[in-house]
Amino acid sequence: MRKEYLAACLALGAAATADAASIGVNFSENDSNQGWINPAAPVGPTGIAAGNFNTTNNPPGSAILPTRAGSLASGTLSNLVDSNGSATTAAIAWNSSNTWWNSDGTADDQARLAVGYLDDGNSGISLTVTNIPYPEYRVYGLLASDQSATLYTTLDFSVNGTPVLGAPSQAYATMSSSVASTGSQWSLLTASQAGNYWLSGAQTAATLTITAPTRSGNSRGSITGIVIEQVPEPGSALLAAASLLGLAARRRRN
């Protein structure tokens, strides 16, 4: 009987975690090379379906996407969809010097996500996401660069005024570099570990601001996308799991 209770508790805990959603935004280099061929393909470090990744050159949710007029170096998107394909209250505004591309190409869906990015250029990069619907969340910053070496120096990013890495760090210039070094297309970047995405601490503000400093030689602050991931709140499923554990303990005593 004890194993049955423990199994039920684990299942309830997993269900509570599965309820968490996230919002992904892909910064495109042009109007065509990042259209998704397979909207169901999981992309990015958290595996959001490609069709539910908001892209700056067009609305999400379709394999055939219309052209977005104007420069992709800056702009706005509203009613961002989440990882379940549902519209949210969140909106994003971004500003950068330029857009550019790396050598990841467009042969698969992961490459389409990574190939184009916001270029740091002469004025750095700033992103603001408003009306985030999650009481608590974490932010993934997905990096890309056209640097020819396997590794390049990424400048530090700021999330709501707090540095993410604490210092310039070594990043993989392409996903193929990441695969060759770690076996994974997406590798976590820290101040002491090379990678191609960083992860912030928990955030609670309904407005998110991300900034990167101006390029310094081959040291870059470019970014190809972000993911805002909900931190699940302890819900009724976890409370039910705790109740089951208590009941199991009482039965053992009896």
Confidence category of residue 161, pLDDT binned at 50, 70, 90:
very high
Compute the distance between CA of residue 45 and CA of residue 236 in angstroms, rounded to an integer.
28
pLDDT of the residue at 197:
98
pLDDT of the residue at 138:
98
Contact criterion met (CB below 8 Å) for 142 and 114: yes
Average pLDDT over residues 220-235: 90
pLDDT in tens, 169-209: 999 988 989 999 999 999 999 999 999 999 999 999 999 99
DSSP the chain: -HHHHHHHHHHHHHHHHHT--EEEEE--SSSSTT--S-TTSEETTTTEEGGGEEETTB-SS-SS-PPPPS-SSEEEE-S-B-TTS-B-S-EEEEE-SEEEE-TT-SSSHHHHHHHEEEE-TTT-EEEEEES---SSEEEEEE-----SSSEEEEPP-EETTEESSSS-EEEESSHHHHHHHHSSSS-B-BTTB-BSEEE---B--SSEEEEEPPPBTTBB--BSEEEEEE-----HHHHHHHHHHHHHHHHHH-
